[in-house]
Copies of this chain bind each other. A is one copy, B any other.
Amino acid sequence: MSHSYKQNQVIPYYMCDRNQQLTLSMLVNLLMEVSENHSAGLGREESFLRERGISWIILRYEFSISRMPKYNEEIEVETCATEYNKLFTYREFVVRGNNKEQLIKAKATFALMKNDTRKMTKINSEIVEPYGATFSKRIQRNVKPNEINLTCASEQHYFVRYFDIDTNQHVNNSKYIEWLLDVLPPAFLSTHGLKHGIITFDKEVKEGDEVTSIVNKPAGGQLYTNHRICVGETGHASATFKWTEQSRMELDDGNDQ
């Protein structure tokens, strides 16, 4: 039976945007921290993997968001590893708010990378046994982000910064999210909330890279956006986000916290 793990967190201001709501980038950081603490409690912390020359990489996120946590709100993050096969493990998260209401459901697909070759390697039961996830031969067919329409796309360029690189010596996943979202118009971002998102990470971005963040901007009242992160001509990540308009009242409610 799958073992679940919970952790509470009061949302500090530095995890929030100008509307005092948790940013998607910081949500991902929190989920990964809770995931790592879960692993550490089971004796499968990052150093256990490092001694075996391997590390986890994230290949896909999917988020369903009722509302983003607000500044100063105490949330509970619950996670468990649900299923694995020879290539992937799947982890689910539920984020609950002040009154235990469900704010966010998220799902992540992990794979194991060999640190020397930086290629994926088979998942053996020694690594995943303590989590109590179910083994299934079946590789899940998860929905992919929409293809981007390059004929009506906008783009911006970003250089990888020193502090974008994490202890895995590649750009941390949360930084991709900053590039994905920063190309959207500020007037859109400040008045819309994220309802649903799918992000796939296809290829590592490394020190010295210049990335292009490409987007089909929302137009004509359309409330979804398609995204791609490239280095040169090569795709490194894709995403589709669905949005909802946020009223001034909802935002002011956040600011009253």
Which residues of chain A have a CB within 8 Å of any CB of chain B?
12-14, 16-20, 23, 25-26, 29-30, 32-33, 36, 47, 71, 156, 159, 161-163, 165-167, 169, 172, 174, 178, 181-182, 184, 186, 189, 207, 255-256
Contacts and interface: CB of A to CB of B under 8 A. Distances in A.
Q: Among A12, A29, A71, A181, which residue has the most Cβ atoms of chain B within 10 A?
A: A12
B47 A174 contact: no
Nearest to A18: B165
A235 to B, nearest CB: 22
B174 A14 contact: yes
B29 A167 contact: no
A182 B167 contact: no
Contacts of A14: 26, 29-30, 32-33, 172, 174
Nearest to A33: B12
State the copy count for this chain.
Answer: 2
A43 to B, nearest CB: 15
A167 B12 CA distance: 12
A18 B182 contact: no
B47 A167 contact: no
Given A13-B32, A32-B13, A33-B13, A166 B256 contact: no
Contacts of A71: 167
Nearest to A185: B162
Given A162-B186, A181-B162, A256-B47, A167 B32 contact: no
A103 B47 CA distance: 25
B166 A182 contact: no
